[in-house]
Amino acid sequence: MQMKRFRENNLGIFGWLWAGNYRLERYLYTLHRITGLGLILFGIFHLTVTTVFRIQGKNVWDSAMSFLDNPIFKIGEFLVLIAFSFHALNGLRLIIHEIGFALGKPVPPIYPYTDAIRRNRALTLILMVIAMLMIVAFITNSVLGGWK
């Protein structure tokens, strides 16, 4: 009996980014994880700033807000909005797939296998277009002065 040899994992964490034989679904999976981690880090940063600096008094709060009111942090706000829009709509797509809507009729697993993204390409593209429209709306609105 011959032992099966497995390929060594030489890629490490960069295996997330290498998409040798993967399609759109693998990129969505990677971006979903990255945006999720980014939103968690933003949440921790936001809670820290709003609790620690506010407790210390009005002068500390005002100095912290004047420090955070610079273009680098404005770009960070854009990135948070983009990450939130993508993460929310991709999560909605995943929930719709998990519940079983938009999956189509079951097919027998005959090689070559078809993945869910090929069967539901329209749903995926519609949700990603909505995400892009939301991102463009957020950026345009912020450049023009924001909500008042």
What tens digit of pLDDT does each residue of 90-129 get? 898 888 877 777 666 777 777 777 666 566 677 778 888 8
The span from the CA of 77 to the CA of 72, in Å, is: 9
pLDDT for 2 beyond 90: no
20-143: CATH topology is 3 helical TM bundles of succinate and fumarate reductases (1.20.1300)
The vertex-46 CA angle with 43 and 47, nearest 5°, equals 85
What is the rounded end-to-end Cα distance, in angstroms, of the chain? 73
Q: Is the pTM of this model over 0.85?
A: no
- Ordered by start, the domain boundaries in the chain are 20-143
The span from the CA of 59 to the CA of 43, in Å, is: 24
The pair of structure tokens assigned to 119 is: 């069967």
The whole-number pLDDT of residue 121 equals 72
